[in-house]
Amino acid sequence: MNHHRRPRPETLLITLTGKDRPGVTSAIFTTLSRAGVEVVDVEQILLRRRLVLGVLVTIPRDWKKLRDAVEATARDLDMSVDIERGTGDNKSRRGGRSHVTVIGTPLKATHMAAVAGRIADTGANIDRIERMARYPVTAIDLHVSGIDTDTLRTTLAVEAAAQGIDIAVQPANLQRLGMRLIVMDVDSTFIQGEVIEMLAAHAGFRDEVAEITEAAMRGDLDFEASLRERVRLLKGVPEAAFDTVYDAIELSPGARTLVRILRRLGYRFALVSGGFSQITDRLAADLGIHFSRANVLEVIDGRLTGEIVGDVVDRAGKARALREFAAELGLSEASVIAIGDGANDLDMLNAAGLGIAYNAKPVVRDAVDTAVNVPYLDTILYLLGISREEIEAADAAEGIVTPSPPI
């Protein structure tokens, strides 16, 4: 029995370019319909009212007649057309498929040239490029095939550091589209500043506590020992200080947007903090966050004792909380996104399917796959394939007005 490989079908690539106007796509498909061809692939983009429409169709017996008809339609539309005869479909290369999200403020042509050059050096191919945001950051998503995600991530991490831009590389799989759990550090990640320093100000020890906190976040000190040392300095602070500190907290830019948009899509959220439950539990309740875990400061007779109740939520404790919350939701760790900035976040970041170092200390940036160094927490949405335009449209439907970009 002879097995013959089916010949690759002959195809015609029609590329139309020119000024956009209503009816262009309709006109070209009406012309194609008269030839009875099958549509194999279509891609259309619009750049500042300039349209590029590519249509790949099966080739008819009298293809020159179709060519003449398409050229006549293009002339009527006052557009340019290029028609190329060939074989086969427009399939991605075999091997790994990844999403590469490039973020810059600004994003320069030299940055894109460097990224594209490194991808080419690996022998991979950029199949598609689309813009995710132009304000307040520029975010571009590249669909890359022909190389495994880990190799591509390692290569581009070097380029991101050299260029001073952010590059996130993720596998192009269904995981990116599914409901996920987002676990966030609190101090200097979900909120600006450090709660313990704000509490210490009430005891007159803000500078001393800030110095110890900085060393602990760099990874220079044992987290639990340094936390207990700082908490001892809070002895005698009145319980009412929690209300004062809570009222003074400022969320990181984009934090509300991140939670609002992803809650609509069924995502779950958790705050996991080396800080204090007296603050994080209130944050979670006020913002509709599903889980919260942090240290409990002991209060007796309305004043802090300088001690912690129960186990300390340290580096290992944060990772444990992530696993427990995921298990409670019936999710794998691969479905978890973790966001943090300090050395005590490292186990949690590495336990997650996607660990994001957010404006992090160098020791953290160097140890994780993805770093975001712009001060907007909702930038994470672009890594999930959600564009700025989609965010603004969803908010507008809810009557929420988002600031417009400068012209």
pLDDT band at 234 (very low <50, low <70, confident <90, very high): very high
- Calpha distance 325→331 (Å, rounded): 9
The answer to whether 192 and 251 are in contact (CB under 8 A) is yes
CB atoms within 10 A of CB 37: 19
pLDDT at 243: 96
DSSP state, residue 360: -
Quick one: average pLDDT of 102-123?
94
Give the integer Cα–Cα distance in Å for 322 and 181.
9
pLDDT at 278: 96
Question: In which band, very low, low, confident or very high, does the pLDDT at 400 lie, cut at 50, 70 and 90?
Answer: confident
Q: How far is it, in rounded angstroms, from Cα 161 to Cα 17?
A: 37
Which of 18-22, 217-221, 276-280, 282-286 has the lowest average pLDDT?
217-221
| Contact between 377 and 253 (Cβ < 8 Å) | yes
35: pLDDT confidence band, cut at 50, 70 and 90? very high
Phi and psi at 165, nearest 5°, equal: -125, 170
Mean pLDDT of 188-193: 94
pLDDT of 176 higher than 90:
no
CA-CA distances (angstroms) from residue 250 to 187, 247, 253, 341?
10, 8, 9, 17
Give, in degrees to the nearest 5, the angle at Cα 368 between 364 and 370. 110
Average pLDDT, the chain: 90
Parts of the chain belonging to CATH 3.40.50.1000: 181-193+246-375
Q: Give me the CATH topology for the region 97-177.
A: Alpha-Beta Plaits (3.30.70)
Active-site residue flag, 20:
no
C-alpha span between 216 and 363 (Å, rounded):
11
Q: In the chain, which residues fall in CATH 3.30.70.260? A: 10-87, 97-177
Does domain 10-87 match CATH 3.30.70.260? yes
In single-letter form, the type of residue at position 44 comes to Q
Catalytic option among 187, 341, 369, 378: 187
Q: Which of 82, 80, 95 is nearest to 55 (CA)?
A: 82
pLDDT greater at residue 17 or residue 400: 17
From the candidates 89, 121, 148, 185, give the one annotated as an active-site residue.
185
- pLDDT of 17 reads 95
* pLDDT for residue 405: 59
Are the beta carbons of 143 and 172 closer than 8 angstroms? yes
Interatomic CA distance for residues 313 and 320, integer angstroms: 9
Mean pLDDT, range 2-16, rounded to an integer: 74
185 is catalytic: yes
For 73-100, the pLDDT digits (tens) are 999 999 999 999 887 666 655 568 999 9
Q: For domain 181-193+246-375, which CATH number applies: 3.40.50.300, 3.20.20.150, 3.40.50.1000, 3.30.1340.30?
A: 3.40.50.1000
Residue whose entry in the numeric block shows the structure tokens 């057309």: 81
